[in-house]
Amino acid sequence: MTNKISNLFKVKYPIIQAGMIWNSGWKLASAVSNQGGLGLLGAGSMYPDVLREHILKTKKATDKPFGVNLPMLYPDIEKHIETIIELQVPIVFTSAGNPKTWTQILKNEGITVVHVVSSAKFATKSQDAGVDAVVAEGFEAGGHNGRDETTTFCLIPDVKRKIEIPLIAAGGIATGRQVAAAMLLGADGVQIGSRFAATYESSSHNRFKEMIVNTDEGGTELTLKELAPVRLIKNEFYQEVVQAYEKCATKEELIELLGRARAKKGMFEGDLVNGELEIGQVASLIDSVVSVEEVFNEILSEIRNLDFGFQKDFI
Ligand code: NDP
Ligand code: NDP
pLDDT in tens, 65-110: 999 999 999 999 999 999 999 999 999 999 989 999 999 999 999 9
Position in ligand 1 atom list of the atom nearest CA 259 = 3
Return the ∠ at Cα 156 (arms to 118 and 301), rounded to 5°: 115
pLDDT in tens, 33-77: 999 999 999 999 999 999 999 999 999 999 999 999 999 999 999
Residue with the nearest Cα to atom 4 of ligand 1? 261
Distance 113 CA to ligand 1 centre (A): 22
- Cβ of 75 less than 6 Å from ligand 1: yes
| Domain residue limits, the chain | 4-204+286-304, 209-282
pLDDT in tens, 293-307: 999 999 999 999 999
Q: Among the bound ligands, name the one nearest to the CA of residue 261.
A: 1
CATH architecture of the domain 4-204+286-304 equals Alpha-Beta Barrel (3.20)
The whole-model pTM stands at 0.92
Distance 156 CA to ligand 1 centre (A): 29
**Cβ contacts of 39 within 8 Å, gap of 6 or more:** 17, 24, 28, 29, 30, 31, 32, 33, 58, 62, 66, 67
Distance 233 CA to ligand 2 centre (A): 22
DSSP for 144-210, please give it.
E--SS---HHHHHHHHHHH--S-EEEESS--SHHHHHHHHHTT-SEEEE-HHHHTBTTS-S-HHHHH
Is residue 254's pLDDT more than 90? yes
Strands 91-95 and 112-117 come out as parallel
